[in-house]
Amino acid sequence: MLLNKNALAVARGLGIIFVVRGHMTTQDPFFVHPYGFHMPLFFFLSGMSLLASLPVASLLKRDSQSLLFYTLVHVGIFATLTVLVFQPMGLNLRTSSPLDWQTYFTKPFTANSHHVILFLVAWFLIALFFVRLLCVLILKGLAQLPERFGLVLQIIIATCMGFLGMQIFASELASSKFWLWNVLSQVFVGAFFCLLGHVAQNKLRLPGLLPCLLAAVLLYAVYYVISHLLTTVPMSMAFSLYKSGFLVHTFLAFLGIAMVLFAAEGLQSLSWLKTLGIYSKPIMSWHMTVFASINLVFAVLGLVSPSAVNAFTMVKPTRPHFIILYLALGIAAPVLAARILEKARKGQWLAAIQRQALFHIGRTDENKSVSPEQP
């Protein structure tokens, strides 16, 4: 495989840092806008771990539980939080009613998941569900062909899907504003990167640690220079916006993906990055709520008017320590919450409390059995 499990987790960890950073309104001088590659990266990484041999029924069952059910539950959670907490405090956050069935079953498609602004990333989870299913079906069909011919055809099919998604379906969306074109564009562009990620599973090898780190730094510099020289508008998969065209967006996306892959290979010994990768899903889901919570605290303290901020607004965005605050809490808080929930589900905390209780009971009984004259 191109990356081992540790490096793959680190790649997800680096990717989720770019996702969180991309949702912050500030930009520093050497900032590389991650919209050009951060979501293609996650589809690519999904392809790198996708098993074409997986039965379609098993895939549907597993992904329905892990993606669709997760999405429905969290749509309700975030809509409820907005209605009961943030909107009464005056924050400018958009949501539909958590009591409306359309919030769960139609608006994730027709409103592109932006009907609940705290969970706007739900579009990715929905698209990923269909991308994985579509890619497995394609790979099963290609498995019937000679290996080399099937590989070439896979690359051709992926490229055609990417072109359709970025050029044709995105154009139809721009002219008609019909939501289905947006979903089709997201799925086809996602499948483009997922299929090519699957190609990379066993066909490429990365060099050692130091060459990988040097390559990552070089690619970052190249990405920065090219994106600024070409004055490109970063793609937005969420809204199917590809104003710089298929070739430019594809080139920049794979430049960013390569940068992250090289960095992940070189940094795979960093356990904290691996942890971020393992918990990339809750980070992706909850970082906007963390941003809104920080803004709510600042509003309560009188540092900003509640109506002037939303989940994207940063208070004092030009100050580095505020940037670090939003970024650190946006990443750390969801990880901490997820780990607490995991331990609670496994009963580890309850077992620890019981052990402590038994320990103190034992010490008490022991003290009672010792007479005052004894040392």
State pLDDT tens for residues 150-169: 999 999 999 999 999 999 99
For the cut 50, the answer to whether the pLDDT of residue 263 exceeds it is yes
What gap in Å lies between CA 235 and CA 250, rounded to an integer?
Answer: 10
- pLDDT tens for each residue of 335-351: 999 999 888 877 755 56
Which of the four pLDDT bands, split at 50, 70 and 90, describes residue 16?
Answer: very high
State the pTM of this model.
0.89
241 φ/ψ angles, rounded to the nearest 5 degrees:
-105, 115
Q: SS3 of 143, please?
A: coil
What gap in Å lies between CA 99 and CA 275, rounded to an integer?
Answer: 35
**Mean pLDDT within 103-114:** 94
Which of the four pLDDT bands, split at 50, 70 and 90, describes residue 210?
Answer: confident
Spell out the SS3 assignment of 32-71.
Answer: CCHHHCHHHHHHHHHHHCCCCCCCHHHHHHHHHHHHHHHH
Report the percentage of the chain scoring pLDDT > 90: 66
Token pair of 303, please?
């540092």
Please tell me the least confidently modeled range out of 59-68, 103-112, 180-189.
59-68
Which of the four pLDDT bands, split at 50, 70 and 90, describes residue 248?
Answer: very high
The pLDDT, as a whole number, for residue 192 is 98
Which of the four pLDDT bands, split at 50, 70 and 90, describes residue 76?
Answer: very high
Mean pLDDT (the chain) is 88
Q: Give per-residue burial for 155-189: e unless 16+ CB within 10 Å, then b.
A: eebbeebbbbbbeebbebbeeeeeeebbbbbbbbb
Q: SS3 of 236, please?
A: strand
Token pair of 193, please?
């990167």
- The position carrying tokens 């939501």 is 179
- pLDDT tens for each residue of 221-233: 999 888 877 777 8
What gap in Å lies between CA 258 and CA 12, rounded to an integer?
Answer: 13
**Mean pLDDT within 199-226:** 86
Most confident segment among 218-227, 301-310, 366-375: 218-227
